Amino acid sequence: MLARSIRGPAFTLLVVSAFHLALSAAPDAGQGPKPKDAPAQWKGLIGEFALNGDTIYVLEESQRLTLFMKRADRQIPLREVARNVYTVEVQTSLPDSVIVFERHGNGRAVSFEMGRRTFKRLAIGGEDSSIFRIKPLKPIEILRREALLARPPRENGSFLGNDLVDLTTLDPTIKLDIRYATSRNFMGEALYSEAKAFLQRPAAEALLRAHRWLKQHGYGLLIHDAYRPWYVTKMFWDATPDDQKTFVANPSTGSRHNRGCAVDVSLYELRTGMPVEMVSRYDEFSDRAYPDYPGGTSLQRWHRALLRRAMEREGFKVYEWEWWHFDYKDWRQYPIGTKTFEELR
């Protein structure tokens, strides 16, 4: 995460070492006791706020509403004194120790004041529980036609043969929510002809072991995507504006999804059957999608870390830009796949 400058006497006061609370270390998260959810009245306050390029996170940490300052790498706990009014947990007479949030009718804070400074909420697509979307650079049907006519890059070397397995045949409690077979995705239209999820057999068997381990803890795996035909990767790339291409694979090198060794996955609760709430939405093109993003609530971060722990213990590695994307360790041994779901069936 890039740090940005934070200036002013109040901030100097806030970030001295006496108020330093270290960020939760990723290796420990998801291993300790499950935290309580944040109080409902705080949910609308949590987010990113900025003034003149200086960004402050408002998050929940250990049942405390907390400010996180990027430049100083500090968490500053707050104390609630009235609805929307908080003070810094420190003895001081400075007016900047009082923080007042302004909410809109939906309960979400649009800004907060600290002394004479007003920090406004940064707009993040998907934060309001909507599905994050881009405006494709070309119509979907043109993208599809061009991609189907294109050819994937030539690859040198020898590869293992494809042995793609339908994940639902391994365990019926592995649930699917294949967004690209619906319009509930960042492109806004169905790209797959059916809701299917395939992985190369070793990766599929490793995923099954992760799922069974999670069941011991009351959770199951919810699959959003797995094997992806190469032409769909090209559609993503050609549709996405240049400033957002970090979140899509370059078809000139192919995606690990194309090789059948990557999976987009989340968690659901066995008791309720409902998906858990993570720090960001699936397929959200923002820094909230990063697996080390410090914002959100303790429970959201705990769930994110539990998923990561389950997957990494079975040979998967999280992608540095997306908490939901995991690559199997042997992905380099498989070629780029071009078969459509119809051809696989």
- CB count within 10 Å of CB 274 equals 9
Residues 6 or more apart from 172 whose CB is under 8 A from it?
Answer: none
- Per DSSP, helices labelled H in the chain are 9-14, 40-43, 140-149, 201-215, 230-239, 298-312, 341-344
Q: Which pLDDT belongs to residue 16? A: 29
Q: In angstroms, how far is the first alpha carbon of the chain from the final one?
A: 43
Give dist(CA 303, CA 217) in Å, integer.
Answer: 11
- Are 271 and 230 within 8 A, CB to CB? no
- Asked if the model's pLDDT at residue 254 lies above 50, the reply is yes
Residue 49: both structure tokens together:
């706020």
Q: Which pLDDT belongs to residue 74? A: 80
Q: Give the pLDDT mean for 87-107.
A: 77
Residue 237: both structure tokens together:
């790339």
Q: Give the pLDDT mean for 126-141.
A: 84
- Asked if the model's pLDDT at residue 139 lies above 50, the reply is yes
Buried b / exposed e over 40-63, threshold 16 CB at 10 Å, is eebbbbbbbbebeebbbbbbbbee
pTM here is 0.86
Mean pLDDT of the chain: 87
What are the CA-CA distances from residue 193 to residues 98, 176, 181 (Å)? 55, 15, 6
| Residue 47 CA from chain centroid, whole number | 14
User: Domains in the chain, please, with CATH?
Assistant: 9-121 (2.40.128.50), 140-344 (3.30.1380.10)
